[in-house]
C-alpha cells in the first residue's frame, strides 16, 4: 500500500507541498523514500509529511502548518516576507555577525531561540500554559525566553518578580548562568531562579517553621521509619518495601493525613490490591511514622509543602511573584505543583510549564489537573523540531523507549514519534569490550582523535551510571595524559575551564556537549539492580522505565556525536539496537 493512500492529492497540497512533488509523494510506499525526499524538498513541506507518516492526525498537522496561510499577504512588504521566512533564515546584520554565529561556542547556542518559537514565547495567555517536547526541542530555551519576556512586562511594576523553578539545584544554577547571558541586569533583577525544594525550605525558615526538612537518606528519618515498621501487621504478609512504596506513591503525593482519607484514596497504578480492612490495618504504620517524625522535629518534603500552603494562607504572606515558569516539570511531583499553584493567583500569564514525560528519571508522576492547574485547548503546546541532536542520535534515544506508554503530565498519553531532528550525522558508535581496561583504551583512543581534530576538551563528556564508575574512567584518562573535570553534585559547568567533563547520568540532565560517551553500559549496571528490585511488578515496571529514560536523557545530551560502550556482558537495554 502507498504511504499516503488515506489522503487525496488535494489534502497533500493543502499541507504546503509544492505541486511539482505531488506525484512523487503520492507514489511513496515507505518512510525510506520519504526520508530521501528530505534533501530536495523545502523543510516546511517535508515536515508535515513526516508527521503524517508517523501517525499524527491530519487536522492537527494542517493546523500546525496552515496557521498563517489564509491571511492576506502584501507581496510588496519585504519586512513581512522576512518575518514569514524566519523559520528557515536568520537575518544577520553584517559579515562579522555571520562569522560569530558560524563559530559560536556551545554556550551561545544554549540561549539561542529559534525564530519559529518566538510566537510561543511572546503570546499572552489567559491561564496556565503547558509546553511538551522531546529532548533537544528547546523547551528550556523557550522557558528562559518566556521568563525574560515576562520580566520585561514588569518594568513598570516595582517589587514584582518572575519565579523560575526547576527540580534540582544543579539545573537551577545552569539556568541562572544562561539567563545572565540572555538578560540585561534590570531584567535579571526581576527573575528569581531556584529549585523548588530549596525555595520552600528557605521560605519556611523565614516564617518560623520549627521542623528540619529531610530526604529519604537522612539518618533521623531512617530511624523514624524503622520504628514505624514495628506496627506492620504480620498477618498481611506484605514485604517491608511495600510500605515505603505505598507511602511514596499514595500517601505523600495525595496528601493523605487520616485513616478515613486512606480508606477512600485511589490506588490506581499500584500492583497489590488492598481491601478496606487491609488498608485499616496498614494505616497505623504511616500514622506512627508521622508521630515519630514530629517528635524528632523532622518533616518530609511532601508534608512540608502541604504545611507551607497552610502557613502562607494563615499568615497572609504576600509573595512578590506575578508569574511562575516551571522547567523539567516531569520530575516535579504533585505536592510541589499544588504548592506552585497556590503561590500565584489564577490570572493571565500565571504559569508556564515545560516538560517531557519521556525524560522522567525520578519517581514523581503528576496529573496537573489534580493539582488545580487547568490547561485548556490552545494553551497546550508541543515543540516538534529537535535543534540539538542529529536524527541518528534521536532515533537511537527514542528506540530505548520503544513500546512504552508515556504520559503528557496530565493523565493522557504522549507520543515520542511526533518530532524530528533537522541535523544529520554519524550513527552512534556502539562498542563492546571484554574488560574495563579494553573499554577505557577504546574511549581514550576516540577522545584523542577528537582532540587532534581541534575539538575542545570541555565539549566532550563521559557519563556513567554512578560517581564511582565515572571516577574509574577519569583515572584512566588522566593516566593517558588527558585532563578531566568532574561535574559533581554542586559544581557548575564553567565552559571556559578545560578538561573532559566527567559526570553521572543524573548530573548531565539539562546540559549538552558536542560529543558524549555513555560508558560502562553493562548488564547489572544499567539498569541498576538496586533501582529495579521491588517485589511489586508495577513498581518494577515504573523503575525500569526510569532507568530507560535516564539512558535516553544521557544520549540526547550529544550535539554532534554519541559513543556508547560496555565491557563484559552489555546491558539488555542496548540489545534493542
Would you call 290 exposed, middle or buried from its count of C-beta atoms within 10 A (0-12, 13-18, 19+)? middle
DSSP H helices in 459-557:
467-479, 537-555
Is residue 399 marked as binding?
no
Q: Is 492 annotated as a binding residue?
A: no
Helix/strand/coil for 339: helix
Sequence-ordered strand ranges (E) for 101-233: 129-133, 161-166, 191-195, 212-214
**41 CB contacts (<8 Å, ≥6 apart)?**
17, 18, 21
CA atoms of 375 and 368, how far apart (whole Å): 8
Dist. CA 430–CA 566, nearest whole Å: 8
Q: How far apart are CA 309 and CA 338, in angstroms?
A: 8
Q: Is 133 marked within a binding site?
A: yes
Q: Annotation-wise, does 135 bind a ligand?
A: yes
Place of cell 497552610: 310
> How far apart, in whole angstroms, are the C-alpha atoms of residue 118 and residue 145?
9
- 134 marked as part of a ligand binding site: yes
Per-residue DSSP letters for 420-434?
EEEE--PPPEEEEES
User: What DSSP character marks residue 463?
Assistant: E
Contacts of 552 (CB under 8 A, 6+ apart): 135, 358, 359, 397, 398, 400, 401
139 is in an annotated binding site: yes
Is residue 389 a known part of a binding site? Answer: no
| 445 labeled binding residue | no
The angle at the Cα of 438, spanning 391 to 392, to the nearest 5 degrees, equals 5
Annotated binding-site members for ATP: 133-140
Annotated binding-site members: 133-140
Amino acid at each position: 500500500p502507498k504511504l499516503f493512500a488515506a489522503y487525496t492529492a488535494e489534502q497533500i497540497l493543502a499541507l504546503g507541498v509544492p505541486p511539482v512533488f505531488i506525484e512523487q509523494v503520492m507514489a511513496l510506499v515507505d518512510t525510506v523514500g520519504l526520508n530521501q525526499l528530505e534533501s530536495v524538498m523545502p523543510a516546511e513541506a517535508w515536515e508535515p509529511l513526516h508527521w503524517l507518516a508517523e501517525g499524527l492526525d491530519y487536522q492537527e498537522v494542517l493546523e500546525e502548518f496552515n496557521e498563517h496561510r489564509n491571511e492576506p499577504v502584501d507581496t510588496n512588504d519585504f519586512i513581512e516576507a522576512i518575518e514569514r521566512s524566519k523559520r528557515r533564515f536568520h537575518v544577520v546584520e553584517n559579515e562579522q555577525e555571520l562569522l560569530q554565529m558560524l563559530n559560536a561556542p556551545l554556550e551561545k547556542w544554549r540561549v539561542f531561540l529559534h525564530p519559529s518559537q518566538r510566537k510561543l514565547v511572546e503570546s499572552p495567555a489567559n491561564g496556565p500554559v503547558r509546553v511538551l517536547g522531546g529532548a533537544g526541542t528547546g523547551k528550556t530555551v523557550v522557558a528562559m525566553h518566556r521568563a525574560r519576556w515576562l520580566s520585561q512586562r514588569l518594568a513598570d511594576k516595582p517589587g514584582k518578580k518572575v519565579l523560575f523553578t526547576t527540580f534540582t539545584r544543579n539545573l537551577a544554577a545552569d539556568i541562572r548562568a544562561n539567563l545572565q547571558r540572555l538578560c540585561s541586569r534590570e531584567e535579571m533583577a526581576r527573575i528569581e531562579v531556584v529549585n523548588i525544594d530549596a525555595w520552600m525550605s528557605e521560605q519556611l525558615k523565614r516564617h518560623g517553621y520549627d521542623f528540619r526538612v529531610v530526604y529519604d537518606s537522612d539518618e533521623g528519618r531512617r530511624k523514624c521509619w524503622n520504628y514505624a515498621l514495628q506496627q506492620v501487621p504480620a498477618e498481611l504478609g506484605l514485604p517491608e518495601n511495600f510500605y515505603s512504596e505505598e507511602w511514596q506513591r499514595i500517601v505523600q503525593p495525595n496528601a493523605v493525613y487520616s485513616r478515613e482519607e486512606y480508606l477512600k484514596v485511589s490506588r490506581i497504578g499500584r500492583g497489590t490490591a488492598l481491601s478496606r480492612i487491609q488498608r485499616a490495618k496498614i494505616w497505623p504504620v504511616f500514622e506512627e511514622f508521622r508521630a515519630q517524625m514530629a517528635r524528632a522535629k523532622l518533616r518530609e518534603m511532601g508534608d512540608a509543602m502541604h504545611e507551607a500552603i497552610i502557613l502562607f494562607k494563615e499568615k497572609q504572606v504576600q509573595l512578590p511573584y506575578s508569574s511562575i515558569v516551571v522547567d523539567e516539570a516531569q520530575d516535579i511531583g504533585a505536592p510541589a505543583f499544588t504548592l506552585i499553584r497556590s503561590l500565584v493567583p489564577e490570572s493571565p500569564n500565571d504559569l508556564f510549564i515545560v516538560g517531557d514525560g519521556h525524560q522522567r528519571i525520578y519517581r514523581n508522576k503528576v496529573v496537573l489537573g489534580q493539582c488545580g492547574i487547568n490547561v485548556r485547548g490552545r494553551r497546550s503546546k508541543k515543540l516538534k523540531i529537535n535543534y540539538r541532536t542529529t536524527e541518528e542520535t534521536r532515533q537511537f534515544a527514542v528506540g530505548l523507549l520503544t513500546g512504552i506508554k508515556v504520559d503528557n503530565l496530565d493523565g493522557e498519553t504522549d507520543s515520542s514519534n511526533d518530532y524530528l531532528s533537522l541535523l544529520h550525522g554519524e550513527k552512534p558508535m556502539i562498542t563492546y569490550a571484554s574488560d574495563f581496561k579494553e573499554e577505557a583504551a577504546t574511549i581514550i583512543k576516540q577522545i584523542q582523535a577528537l582532540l587532534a581534530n581541534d575539538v575542545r576538551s570541555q565539549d566532550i563528556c563521559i557519563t556513567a551510571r554512578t560517581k564511582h564508575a565515572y571516577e574509574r574512567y577519569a583515572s584512566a584518562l588522566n593516566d593517558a595524559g588527558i585532563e578531566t573535570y568532574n561535574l559533581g553534585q554542586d559544581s557548575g559547568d564553567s565552559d571556559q575551564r578545560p578538561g573532559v567533563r566527567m559526570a553521572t547520568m543524573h548530573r548531565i540532565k539539562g546540559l549538552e556537549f558536542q560529543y558524549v560517551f555513555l560508558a560502562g553500559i553493562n548488564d547489572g549496571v544499567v539498569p541498576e539492580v538496586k533501582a529495579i528490585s521491588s517485589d511489586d511488578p508495577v513498581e518494577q515496571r515504573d523503575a525500569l522505565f526510569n532507568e530507560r529514560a535516564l539512558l535516553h536523557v544521557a544520549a540526547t545530551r550529544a550535539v554532534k556525536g554519541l559513543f556508547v560502550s560496555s565491557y563484559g556482558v552489555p546491558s539488555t537495554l542496548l540489545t534493542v539496537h
